[in-house]
């Protein structure tokens, strides 16, 4: 029953998002540009693994951009379309509907990886080299989970405010930097790195890189895998608690619509 | 008779902030202590000037807004706190071009809301067909809603509001933007709902419509009820409902909330 609700929300969201020019731009043009830029930077960076630096970097930035635009932006868009109030007042639990939207957007945004990969292969004719394919698959799945869990906390907080557009733009770059999507964490001062370690995508990204580059002790890989999963679970729990609060709060503060 | 909607000394305030440097708080008493009840099977009108507090009242009744104080019960349950027991049994339609997914077709819109109301496909597929027929959208049902005219979107909204076969339907200015044929269609739908034993609470600025449809109504001004009863009772010795209305809300001067 609820699975059907989830699936139909995921479908609706993918249809909706894909039909928006802005989303298509973030999904396709964004990764192409990022891949080209990162490639140029790669050439003079002394980094070794092209796939890890360019494709993963551009792909992750792309995914995150899509999630920011959609999961945060969609709440505002629905607020202005008057559908936020409708989904809020429907018997289906609001948090599940929002979760469906986030999953839909995240799945769609995975395309950025493909786009960035294709760009790299076609434009620069590079060979893809993944040292530990099975680890990579696990890391990829965990990355999706970690993105979904962090977006769900963000989306839920944003329901409360009418200034979502602002916050969403504010969040995009810092998270990309803090989680080390492109640049290594070691470039950040230690006291800021503390924040990075509390963000689940940081660990997921690390797993991705390790599996691509290879040469990691399996025990280390699995320890970091566990950390990613635990952090994601903490986020999921947090958003569950937040939704409880927010379902009351939006009605007290009247932020469901703009009328 | 069973009162399915009950408001007692219901109040709602909005706090707004103004200014950038010297922020001042302002409290708007949008609904300022209103009491009324609606019985099962009634068509009930909520009339009043712009800003009188009609939409705010409907939002509180439809579990979208928390009352500041007072009783706000639908089907015997509090709309704030017991909303879970209410939501599947009611629905609402807000006038205007909002409240549909413009990048989906009418049919997909209805399907999606059917999912949100946790209906089974065996139930909603035939119902969607009937509803599209009823609001005369059947031939455009698979076009994207963004290609619809204002009135067509409004008709889609009406179909959406009936997707869960609600016991109570709340309608906020449902005839806004409808052509005369569409408005007639909507009035017929409302009357049919009543024949089926459903309850309808509606707001409108079109007084003849209210007079034609409503069993009873209240007139709200600046958040307070200034008159209530059957259309004939409210008309009283006045020539028309409009005359009575104008004298009740103070003709000429626009109502401004406190
Ligand atoms: N979210 C809000 N924040 C602050 N004030 C609000 C908010 N919503 C409504 N108000 C104020 O509350 C008052 C009542 O508004 P409401 O929308 O209930 O009126 P209405 O009777 O539906 O009017 P109309 O006929 O124009 O639709 C108005 O003064 C309005 O400005
Ligand atoms: Mg209104």
Q: Which ligand is in closest contact with the Cα of B94?
A: 2
Do B103 and A15 make contact, defined as CB atoms within 8 angstroms?
yes
Q: Tens digit of pLDDT for each residue in B94-152? A: 887 888 999 899 999 999 999 999 999 999 999 999 999 999 999 999 999 999 998 89
pLDDT grade for A33, boundaries at 50, 70 and 90: confident
From A44's Cα to the closest Cα of chain B, the distance in A is 45
- Give the count of beta carbons closer than 10 Å to the beta carbon of residue A134: 9
CB-based contact A83 B101, cutoff 8 Å: yes
In angstroms, what is the span from residue B173 Cα to ligand 1's centroid?
A: 14
Per-residue confidence band for A108, with pLDDT thresholds at 50, 70 and 90 = confident
pLDDT tens for each residue of A124-152: 887 788 888 999 999 999 999 999 998 88
Q: What is the mean pLDDT of chain B?
A: 91
Q: Which CATH number fits domain B3-98+167-179+189-249: 3.40.50.300, 3.90.226.10, 3.50.50.60, 3.40.33.10?
A: 3.40.50.300
pLDDT band at B13 (very low <50, low <70, confident <90, very high): very high
B-chain residue closest to A19, CA distance? B103
Residue A1 predicted with pLDDT over 60? no
How many other C-beta atoms lie within 10 A of the C-beta of residue B147? 10
pLDDT at position A162: 65
- DSSP assignment of B83-98 equals THHHHTTEEEEESSS-
Q: pTM for the whole thing? A: 0.87
What is the rounded average pLDDT of the residues B146-167? 93
- The predicted pLDDT at position A259 comes to 53
Span A234-247, average pLDDT: 89
Residues of A with CB under 8 A from a CB of B: 1, 4-5, 8-9, 12, 15-16, 19-20, 81-83, 85-92, 97, 248, 251-252, 254, 256, 259
Three-class SS of residue A46? coil
A216 has a pLDDT exceeding 60: yes
pLDDT (0 to 100) of residue A24? 83
**Alpha-carbon dihedral sign for residues B133, B114, B59, B14:** negative
**A109 Ramachandran zone, left/alpha/beta (phi>0; psi -120 to 50):** alpha
- Which positions ≥6 away from B66 have C-beta within 8 Å? A248, A251, A252, B60, B80
pLDDT above 70 covers a percentage of chain B that reads 97
How many angstroms away from the CA of B252 is the closest CA of chain A? 25
Query: Could you say which of B59, B84, B112 has the minimum Cβ distance to residue A8?
Result: B112
Alpha helix (H) ranges present in chain A? 2-18, 21-24, 30-43, 50, 56-67, 73-81, 83-89, 94-109, 111-124, 133-159, 164-178, 190-198, 200-213, 218-253
What is the CB neighbour count within 10 angstroms for residue A203? 28
Does the structure show a pLDDT above 70 at A239? Answer: yes
Among A41-55, A62-76, B46-60, B92-106, the range of highest mean pLDDT? B46-60
Residue B16 CA: which ligand 1 atom is closest? Answer: 4
Q: For residue A71, what pLDDT is reported? A: 67
pLDDT of residue B222: 92
Q: What is the pLDDT of residue A187?
A: 84
Cβ within 8 Å, pair A256-B64: yes
How much is the average pLDDT of B23-51? Answer: 94
Is A95:A156 a contact under the CB 8 Å cutoff? Answer: yes
According to DSSP, residue A53 is labeled I
pLDDT tens for residues B183-205?
Answer: 999 999 999 999 999 999 999 99
- Quick one: which H or E segment has residue B44? strand B43-48
pLDDT at B255: 45
Contact A221, A135 (CB under 8 A): yes
If you measure from the C-alpha of residue B14 to the centroid of ligand 2, how many angstroms do you get, rounded to a whole number? 15
Residue A158 has pLDDT above 80, yes or no: no
The DSSP bridge partners found for residue A216 are none
Interface A-B, measured as beta-carbon pairs within 8 A, has a size of: 78
State how far the Cα of B154 lies from the Cα of A29, in Å rounded to an integer: 36
**Angle (deg, nearest 10), helices A56-67 and A111-124:** 150
Q: Which atom of ligand 1 is nearest to the CA of A258?
A: 1
CA distance A238 to A241: 5
From CA A47, how far away is CA A52, in angstroms rounded? 9
CA pair distance A148, A239, nearest whole angstrom: 11
Nearest residue (CA) to ligand 1, atom 30: B51
Identify the residue with better confidence: A69 or B47: B47
d(CA A159, CA A102): 13
Residue A104: is its pLDDT beyond 60?
A: yes
What is residue B258's predicted lDDT score, i.e. its pLDDT? Answer: 46
Confidence band, pLDDT 50/70/90 cuts, at residue B80: very high
Overall size of chain A counted in residues: 259
Sign of CA dihedral A148, A149, A153, A156: positive
Residue A123 in 3-state DSSP? Answer: helix
pLDDT value of residue A257: 76
CA distance A221 to A226: 9
Ligand 1 pocket (Cβ < 6 Å) reads A 254; B 14, 16, 28, 30, 48, 50-56, 257
Residue A227: per-residue pLDDT: 94
Count CB atoms within 10 A of the CB of residue B195: 8
- The yes-or-no verdict on residue B14 having pLDDT over 60 is yes
CA distance B138 to B110: 12
Instruction: Report the range out of A13-22, A65-74, A195-204 with the highest average pLDDT.
Output: A195-204
């Amino acid at each position: 029953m609820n699975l059907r609700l989830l699936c139909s929300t995921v479908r609706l969201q993918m249809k909706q998002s894909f039909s928006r020019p802005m989303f298509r731009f973030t999904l396709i043009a964004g990764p192409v540009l990022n891949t080209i830029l990162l490639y140029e930077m790669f050439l003079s960076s002394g980094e070794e693994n092209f796939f890890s630096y360019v494709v993963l970097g551009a792909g992750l930035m792309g995914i995150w951009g899509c999630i920011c635009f959609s999961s945060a932006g969609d709440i505002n868009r629905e607020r202005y379309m008057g559908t936020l109030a409708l989904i809020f007042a429907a018997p289906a639990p609001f948090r599940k509907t929002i979760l469906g939207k986030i999953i839909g957007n995240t799945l769609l945004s995975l395309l950025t990886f493909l786009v960035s990969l294709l760009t790299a292969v076609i434009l620069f004719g590079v060979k893809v080299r993944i040292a530990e394919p099975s680890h990579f698959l696990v890391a990829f799945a965990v990355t999706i989970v970690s993105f979904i869990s962090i977006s769900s906390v963000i989306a839920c907080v944003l329901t409360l405010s009418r200034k979502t557009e602002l916050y969403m733009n504010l969040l995009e770059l810092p998270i990309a930097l803090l989680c080390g999507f492109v640049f290594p964490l070691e470039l950040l001062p230690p006291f800021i790195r503390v924040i990075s370690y509390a963000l689940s995508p940081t660990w997921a990204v690390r797993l991705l890189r390790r599996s691509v580059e290879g040469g990691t002790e399996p025990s280390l890989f699995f320890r970091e895998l566990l950390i990613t999963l635990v952090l994601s679970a903490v986020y999921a729990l947090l958003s569950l608690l937040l939704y409880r609060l927010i379902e009351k709060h939006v009605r007290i503060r009247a932020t469901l619509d703009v009328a | 008779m069973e009162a399915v909607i009950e408001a007692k000394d219901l109040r709602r305030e909005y706090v707004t902030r103004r200014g950038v440097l010297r922020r001042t708080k302002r409290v708007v008493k949008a609904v300022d202590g209103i009491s009324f009840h609606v019985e099962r099977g009634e068509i009930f009108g909520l009339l009043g000037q712009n800003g009188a507090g009609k939409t705010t009242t409907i939002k509180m009744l439809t579990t979208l807004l928390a009352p500041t104080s007072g009783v706000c019960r639908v089907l015997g349950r509090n709309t704030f706190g017991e909303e879970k027991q209410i939501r599947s049994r009611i629905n609402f339609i807000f006038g205007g071009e909002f409240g549909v997914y413009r990048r989906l077709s009418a049919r997909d819109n209805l399907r999606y809301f059917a999912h949100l109301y946790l209906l089974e496909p065996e139930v909603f597929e035939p119902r969607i067909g009937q509803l599209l027929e009823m609001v005369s959208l059947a031939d455009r049902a698979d076009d994207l809603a963004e290609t619809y005219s204002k009135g067509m979107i409004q008709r889609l909204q009406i179909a959406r509001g009936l997707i869960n076969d609600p016991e109570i339907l709340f309608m906020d200015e449902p005839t806004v933007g409808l052509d005369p044929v569409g408005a007639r269609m909507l009035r017929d739908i409302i009357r049919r709902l009543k024949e089926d034993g459903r309850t309808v609470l509606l707001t409108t600025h079109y007084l003849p419509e209210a007079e034609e449809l409503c069993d009873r109504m209240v007139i709200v001004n600046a958040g307070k009820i200034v008159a209530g009863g059957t259309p004939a009772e409210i008309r009283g010795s006045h020539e028309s409902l409009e005359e009575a209305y104008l004298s009740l809300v103070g003709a000429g001067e626009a109502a401004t909330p406190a």
